[in-house]
Amino acid sequence: MDYIARFTEMDFSTRQEIVDRFGPLAFPMYYGGRFLHVWSSNIRIQLPASIIGNLIILYTLAQFGLFIWGYFLRPSRLPVYCHAETGSWVLVTGASDGIGRGFADEFVARGFNVLLHGRNPEKLAKVKREINLRWPKRQVEFVVADASSGDHPEDAVIEKVKQLPGKLTVLVNNVGGITTKPIYVPLSETTSEAVETCINVNARFPIQLTRGLLPMLQDNTPSLIINCSSTAGVHGVPYIAAYAGTKGFLNSLSQSLHTELKRSSLKAEVEVISFVIGNVISANNKSDVPFVTMSSAECAKGCLARVGCGEVVTFAHWKHFLTVQGMFLLPEKYRRTVLLSETEQRVADEKKRL
């Protein structure tokens, strides 16, 4: 009690005095003292206010700590998926360009063999040659299938995977993008065929491919499924409604599948992760948004560093995390206004270019 009395009698406005008295212990002593002061001062409203304030500070510090750990310090779990004695294989869809190409390069550099998927055999053969030249010990194969077709193009890919001279342990559902030209079109002015194409490439193909390959991935555990989503799928960006919808679909698909696989067997370990990707320079996207924009290679690298982070829907890069979280600080009404004016600017820029 003597200890409490000493604290409560102290003039807490003079921080220097406490620093002089207690040295490095000054900070916890000062706040401990304030807490005891409030406790004994009989002003009941101050105590809960002080508790809530301190909890908010602790929560914010914990969130900041988790952010630093998750994006800058935590080692990736990716090496766990390179385990097959006959060689571990990764299937990267849409691997002839952009982020998919970035993924292929990164996986090969980390010891995996890669099955490239795309629609253009010449481009795929060129990528295969370039990788072989740089990494002669890795095996690279490719398979051609047009993901925009509604006629089960995934079957050819699944057949090719079955013939691989090793085990598939990673599936990257990267193929996708905005398939309309011009890019920004109101839904009412989008043709039925354009909507079908967008859904086929961005949603139907990835889910059917995943469904077809799942038994193999479950046999080859630990295994990994990466889905490439977009900030458009989180915000619901106007004038690209079909695309944004399919990217939201990938996030929900990943969450469902991850939970389903966790429940179905304790042994089967298939990690499912959906990356919310922001602006990335690629074959389909040359727009440069200050602070956010990065190269396809940087984006792929960022995704692989995040493998095993424990979040099913997460971000490829801390810059994308900050911009999305920043937007969510705005009330919904203002967030929508910002999105609308930003996209209308892009519509105007696109009209000028065309």
Ligand X SMILES: NC(=O)c1ccc[n+]([C@@H]2O[C@H](COP(=O)([O-])OP(=O)(O)OC[C@H]3O[C@@H](n4cnc5c(N)ncnc54)[C@H](OP(=O)(O)O)[C@@H]3O)[C@@H](O)[C@H]2O)c1
Catalytic positions: 243
Chosen residue from 88, 169, 208, 296 binding ligand X by CB under 6 A: 296
Half-sphere exposure of 29 (CA within 13 A, CB side): 18
From the list 29, 207, 283, 327, which residue makes contact with ligand X (rule: CB under 6 A)? 283
Fill in the amino acid letter for 351.
Answer: K
How many residues are there in the chain? 354
The tokens for 268 are 């089967």
46, 218, 255, 284: which one binds ligand X (CB under 6 A) = 284
The CA distance from 118 to 124, in Å, is 7
With CB atoms as reference, the residue minimizing the distance to ligand X is 98
Among 33, 70, 176, 302, binds ligand X (CB under 6 A): 176
Site string for ligand X, 249-278 (x = CB under 6 A): ----------------------------x-
Minimum gap (Å) between residue 228 Cβ and ligand X: 4
Q: Could you say which residues in the range 103-142 bind ligand X, by CB under 6 A? A: 118-120, 123
Smaller CB separation from ligand X, 88 or 174: 174
Output DSSP code: residue 187: G
**Short-list 241, 268, 221, 247, CA closest to 340:** 241
Name the DSSP letter for residue 142: E
Taking residues 70 to 109 in sequence order and writing x for each that binds ligand X by CB under 6 A, - otherwise, the string is ------------------------xxxxxxx---------
Residue 113 or 296 with smaller CB distance to ligand X: 296
Of the residues 285, 298, 322, 346, which one makes contact with ligand X according to CB under 6 A: 285
When the beta carbons of 180 and 282 are compared against ligand X, the nearer one is 282
* Contact residue for ligand X among 220, 223, 251, 279 (CB under 6 A): 279
Whose tokens are 């602070």? That residue is 291
Q: Do the Cβ atoms of 261 and 240 come closer than 8 Å?
A: no
Helix ranges, the chain (H): 2-9, 15-22, 26-40, 46-68, 98-109, 121-134, 154-162, 192-199, 205-219, 231-235, 241-264, 296-306, 318-328, 332-353
Q: Listing from the earlier edge strand, what are the strands of the sheet with 167-173?
A: 140-144, 113-118, 88-92, 167-173, 223-230, 270-277, 313-315
Please tell me the distance from the alpha carbon of residue 196 to that of residue 192, in angstroms, as a whole number: 6
Minimum CB distance to ligand X, residue 130 (Å): 14
Residue closer to ligand X, measured from CB, 84 or 292: 292
Stretch that binds ligand X, among 46-54, 171-179, 214-222, 263-271 (CB under 6 A): 171-179
C-alpha to C-alpha distance for 177 and 174, rounded to whole angstroms: 9
Q: Which of residues 185-244 bind ligand X (CB under 6 A)?
A: 201, 228, 230
Closest CB 308 distance from ligand X, rounded Å: 21
Who's near 290: CB < 8 A, 6+ residues apart?
A: none
> Which residue ranges make up the site for ligand X (CB under 6 A)?
94-100, 118-120, 123, 146-148, 174-177, 201, 228, 230, 277, 279-280, 282-285, 296
